[in-house]
Amino acid sequence: MGLQAEKIFVNLPVKDLKRSVDFFTKLGFEFNDQFSGDKATCMVISENIYAMLLVEDFFQSFTKKELTDTRKSAEIIVTLSAESREQVDEIVNRGLAAGGKPGYEFDHGFMYESSFQDIDGHFWAFIYMDESKMHDK
């Protein structure tokens, strides 16, 4: 059997930590103060999923690679499940109202996905799958 990880920590570079915390707080996310400071914060997505928001120069200390310019390129799409189509629209609309930019949207009947770019240009997508309609595919 392969690796069975119990938690995921997605690390994302941000330009202004306070501004990013304010942005994601407006979306309803909370932060773990035990893993937060002036260079990084731990955003709690669920019991086992976290996003580490790292100030760019601190993020850069973990890699010799150049940071992605999110105005020109996409390096990641963080996709999270939602309980309904309405919840997908609600969270995306909150992201846009908080200063995010529109992303993409797909509607395949059994699967609905919509997204936005956060204030640092990272894509956040939310997806709802209606399992009762999946058998039609």
> Using one digit for the tens of pLDDT, what is the confidence trace for 61-113?
999 999 999 989 988 999 999 999 999 999 999 999 999 999 999 999 899 99
Residue 106: C-alpha distances to residues 26, 51, 72, 89, 128 (Å): 24, 24, 22, 12, 11
Instruction: Report the CATH number of the 1-62 domain.
Output: 3.10.180.10
> Which helix (H) or strand (E) segment is 40 a member of?
strand 40-46
The segment(s) of the chain belonging to CATH 3.10.180.10 are: 1-62, 74-137
Beta-bridged to residue 77, according to DSSP, are 123
Q: Are 75 and 68 in contact (CB under 8 A)?
A: yes
Q: What is the mean pLDDT of residues 42-46?
A: 97
Neighbours of 30 (CB within 10 A): 11
Residue 125: C-alpha distances to residues 56, 78, 87 (Å): 22, 6, 12
Quick one: pLDDT at residue 75? 87
Neighbours of 18 (CB within 10 A): 10
Q: Does CATH place domain 74-137 in 3.10.180.10?
A: yes
Q: What is the pTM of this model?
A: 0.88
Per DSSP (E only), the strands in 84-133 are 101-107, 111-117, 123-129
